[in-house]
Amino acid sequence: MAPADPLDVTTLRRVELAYVIEDDFGITSAELVWESGRDRGKKPIPLEPIRSAAPAANDAPATRGRVQGKLMWDIAEVQVPSGGEVRYWIEARDNDTVGGPNVGRSRELHLKVVSPRERHEETLGRQQDVAEKILKNLGGRLTLREAVVELGTIGAAFEKDPHASDALRRALSQMRERLDKLASAEQRLMPKGKPPARAQFAALDPRMIGELEDDAIVLADWLDRERLEGLLDVSDEIAAHQKRLADLLAQYQRTKDPRLLDEIEREMRALDRAFAELDRHRRGMAEDVLDQYVHRNAIQAQAGTNCVDEVRKLVRAGDAAGAQRKLEQCRQQQGQAASALEGSLAGLRGDKFSDEQKRLDEVMNELADVAKDQDDVAAEANRIFEAYAEKADEVARDHRREASKKVSALLERLRHRLHEINEAGLTPFAKEELDIVEHRLADVEHMVGDGDLAEALGMAHQAKQSLDTIAGELEAAINDDPRSKWVDATQDALDGVQRARPVAKELIDELQSLSPKPDQIMSADDHRALERLRRRQALTRDRARRLADRAKQLGGELPGDAGSELGKKLGGALDQMAAADERMRVKDPSGARAATRAAADSLAKARDRARSAARQAQEGAVGDEPIRIPGADEYRAPERFREDLLEAMKKKGAVAPEGYDDLIKRYYQELIK
């Protein structure tokens, strides 16, 4: 069975296992078996019987003497807490009809269920221990050197921790340096071989006590902040699972595919665990922090679990529509709780990290103002487009049949290109944008059929804009982690998107050629309105550029990764504003509407992402992709493994120096075992 090495896997993912089973009597059944504590589970491995020409009526199906394949194992089936270990193996029964079936068992393998957030919490636990050591040092400083060393190891653990902020790393590093200097100074005051005199420490003691008091407060404040941010991380996971469950229910409602029920059940189990995790986090927080900052409605783990139970009952009763309605209530409830938690975190940062929170508030307020201005620009662009579209429809009504014929061929080509995109290489955000592209193409087809060419052109612009967004997202993913094991799949997906973009542009050009020219039907008032709107867009773009520059300058002075993330997202919005300016310059109301709306949407996403990045939340933290085991796809067991080894054993002295034959023989015997 492969992989043979112990595995660390993220909670609630799937593992792909490769296996080879051989038996001279043939194999009748096989199953994957696992144990974790008192929990024991089994998963049957489907075996395809060998087809015989004319099987007897009472004969069992013929079985294979050798079976090779892969099995997708859902870790959600394993009742093991994060950080727990699971032992697993394969058991197979042969077809011995004389002495009775024999049971064979593979070598026992191990995996550990972990996630970056759990590793982060383990390091926080060590930070808690250091805080307690420092508190004890206020009375007696025998363990101060241990605390200094442990601060160094915690800093190293946080170095590659995606949930730890630069400010936290900097605070711990500076604390370690200060304590190390004081401990070294204290050591120099102690003469070798003589008891230390109290007077020697008179000047150092006040400095040491003051430093320990300050450090104890800093560590406690950071622990409170990190614990509260951990609550919001779990809340993000709950929201992601709820969204995926909503998508699955909608798909099941459309298709009634029974295979979706397993995925739906899996997501509901994931939600049960996430709400249990939320409650565990709440119990681990200091009571004074909960009383002072966290509203009781912000953490409703039991209410969330009850809500999921009601959804589960409706699904099992076959009422998919009722389950969708109930899930929407659950999502609204969770959204209100998450909003309350964000307010709690802002309040804590405002009290204990006031400068950091003040700068964040200023940046977020400016972003809200820019977003409001862009919404107004998009609304005015939409008004101008609607006036143009109404006139254009009257002029283009006679071209409906010709347009439908030409556009249908382009839509078919573009959809074919979209289906060729490697979805395994798409990020969660890119997948959402690809869904938007497909919906917009359906809108184009519908609008052309109705003779609404201006509106169809607007939908085509939006589809092209989403393709451009996907390309930018995938390029950023490759640049962020060029050594990722997914980089080849992501590059493949990016290549597919690049092949689709020219066809989308061709679709826009075709619709533009079929539509009346805006210059021909726009009134003088419309032309003046579009020019005024272009000037407003330029002013809004300048404000957004200044905000992006300020966010980059502040950088580490903002909490978490808010500065860098805001700079990235604003960069995308600025590109779309530039596109809007160009569309307005050439008097293209359809393109102007699409670009201004895309810029407004990007600013809204920038606002949401900045809030999450301020607490070091990871984008796209929950996904449904299975864990890929390096080498599993390439794993191929030799057809005659034992025979090859035995043949090699006969070649005594062929490749080894004289005197090593016995050692080589024992080596081959171990391989055969």
Q: What percent of the chain has pLDDT over 90?
A: 10
Grouping H, G, I as helix, E, B as strand and the rest as coil, residue 88 is: strand
Q: Flag whether pLDDT at 626 surpasses 50.
A: no
Which region among 273-277, 557-561, 633-637 has the lowest average model confidence (pLDDT)? 633-637
Grouping H, G, I as helix, E, B as strand and the rest as coil, residue 32 is: strand
Q: Flag whether pLDDT at 4 surpasses 90.
A: no
Q: Flag whether pLDDT at 369 surpasses 80.
A: yes
Q: Which of 66-75, 130-139, 205-214, 494-503 has the highest mean pLDDT?
A: 494-503
For tokens 């805006």, name the residue.
518
Q: Which of 103-112, 182-191, 351-360, 378-387 has the highest mean pLDDT?
A: 378-387
164 Cα distance to chain centroid: 17
Grouping H, G, I as helix, E, B as strand and the rest as coil, residue 85 is: strand
Amino acid at 228: L
Name the pLDDT band for 155 (thresholds 50, 70, 90): confident
Rounded CA-CA distance 590/581 in Å is: 12
How many CB atoms within 10 Å of residue 294?
A: 21
Rounded CA-CA distance 161/231 in Å is: 17
pLDDT, the chain, mean: 76
Q: Flag whether pLDDT at 273 surpasses 50.
A: yes
In this prediction, residues 117-146 reach a mean pLDDT of 65
Tokens encoding 420:
């060729």
Tens of pLDDT, residues 286-322: 777 777 777 666 666 778 788 889 999 998 888 989 9
Tens of pLDDT, residues 530-580: 999 999 999 999 999 998 888 888 877 777 777 777 888 888 889 999 999
Tens of pLDDT, residues 637-667: 444 445 555 555 555 444 555 555 665 666 5
- What lies within 8 Å, CB to CB, of 531 at 6+ separation is 584
366 Cα distance to chain centroid: 28
Q: Which residues pair with 15 in a beta bridge?
A: 73, 627
Where does residue 587 fall: left (phi above 0), alpha (psi -120 to 50 degrees), or beta otherwise?
A: left
Domain ranges within the chain, ordered by starting residue: 7-114, 115-190+201-352, 355-613, 641-672
Nearest C-alpha neighbor of 646 from the set 668, 673, 670: 668
Q: For residue 298, what pLDDT is reported?
A: 60
Q: Flag whether pLDDT at 63 surpasses 80.
A: no
Which region among 60-64, 368-372, 516-520 has the lowest average model confidence (pLDDT)? 60-64
Rounded CA-CA distance 69/33 in Å is: 16
In this prediction, residues 618-626 reach a mean pLDDT of 44
Helix (H) or strand (E) holding 418: helix 400-419
Nearest C-alpha neighbor of 287 from the set 275, 296, 278: 296
219, 222, 228, 233: CA torsion to nearest 10:
-120
Rounded CA-CA distance 42/89 in Å is: 10
Q: Flag whether pLDDT at 6 surpasses 60.
A: no
Of residues 306 and 131, the one with the higher pLDDT is 306
Q: Flag whether pLDDT at 631 surpasses 50.
A: no
Buried b (16+ CB within 10 A) or exposed e, 5-22: eebebbbbbbbbbbbbbb
In this prediction, residues 421-430 reach a mean pLDDT of 83
Rounded CA-CA distance 268/262 in Å is: 10
Quick one: three-class SS letters along 94-121?
Answer: ECCCCCCCCEEECCCEEEEEECHHHHHH
Asked if omega into 3 is within 30° of 0 (cis), the reply is: yes
* Helices 589-613/453-480 angle, 10° precision: 30
Name the pLDDT band for 611 (thresholds 50, 70, 90): confident
Per the CB < 8 A criterion, the answer to whether 385 and 458 are in contact is yes
Residue length of the chain: 673
Q: For residue 541, what pLDDT is reported?
A: 93
Q: Flag whether pLDDT at 22 surpasses 80.
A: yes
Q: Which residues pair with 112 in a beta bridge?
A: 8, 85
Q: For residue 459, what pLDDT is reported?
A: 87
Rounded CA-CA distance 397/303 in Å is: 55
DSSP class of residue 256 equals -
DSSP class of residue 654 equals S
Q: What percent of the chain has pLDDT over 70?
A: 72
Domain covering 7-114, topology: Immunoglobulin-like (2.60.40)
Tokens encoding 430:
């890119």
Rounded CA-CA distance 380/391 in Å is: 17
Buried b (16+ CB within 10 A) or exposed e, 509-525: ebbbebbbebeebbeee
Tens of pLDDT, residues 75-123: 666 665 556 678 889 998 888 767 777 888 888 888 776 666 666 677 7
First to last CA, the chain: 14
Q: For residue 658, what pLDDT is reported?
A: 54
Amino acid at 73: W
How many CB atoms within 10 Å of residue 197?
A: 11
Amino acid at 128: Q
Grouping H, G, I as helix, E, B as strand and the rest as coil, residue 554 is: helix
Q: Flag whether pLDDT at 140 surpasses 70.
A: no
Per the CB < 8 A criterion, the answer to whether 497 and 474 are in contact is yes
How many CB atoms within 10 Å of residue 356?
A: 21
Amino acid at 402: E
Rounded CA-CA distance 218/487 in Å is: 40
Buried b (16+ CB within 10 A) or exposed e, 330-348: bbebbeebbebbbebbbbb
Rounded CA-CA distance 102/97 in Å is: 10
